[in-house]
Amino acid sequence: MAKDTRDLILKTSLKLFSEQGYHGTTMRQVASKAGISLGLAYRYFDSKEAILEGIIESHDKILKRYIPDEIVTNPRCEDLIVNVSESLISLVKENEDYLRLYWNLMLQPKIHRLKRRNIHLVNMIFLKLLKKQSVPLNRIIPNLKSKTLLRLQSVI
């Protein structure tokens, strides 16, 4: 039951954060949307940042299943990138809310400290896969300024 409630809070928060932005979402909204009391939400997570860290941590575990260590330790290993591209494409399609939240967070300097050691590589892989699948970046990041969009597209 406790794990179910925790997972419900994480899932609900991910959806709200990806739709309204991290800063545009309150703990009260998370609790209401999850159908739980605000006090219960705080029993599981002492802050909105703790929820965000939980979301990132759970999705890091998912990413690690899709990205072999060799890619992380040797980013020039193009054959390995090609071999896992289909898996990553599935990952992107199945986790669009997380991807939208992830990119929005990457553009916010206040949240920047939550970066992980492999974040640059993961960013490049996602950007290349999105380009390969012809997914427009502004679909994933709707509030993206055109100047930032051009910068992101220029690196892929």
Which domains are seen in the chain, by residue range? 2-154 (1.10.357.10)
Nearest CA to 21 out of 57, 48, 58 is that of 48
pLDDT digits over 101-110, tens only?
A: 777 776 666 5
pLDDT digits over 19-66, tens only?
A: 888 889 999 999 999 999 999 999 999 999 999 889 888 877 776 666
Separate counts of helices (H) and strands (E) for the chain: 10, 0
Cβ–Cβ under 8 Å, residues 19 and 29: no
Note the pTM of the prediction, 2 decimals. Answer: 0.58
CA–CA separation, 56 and 101 (whole Å): 10
Place of tokens 């390969």: 132
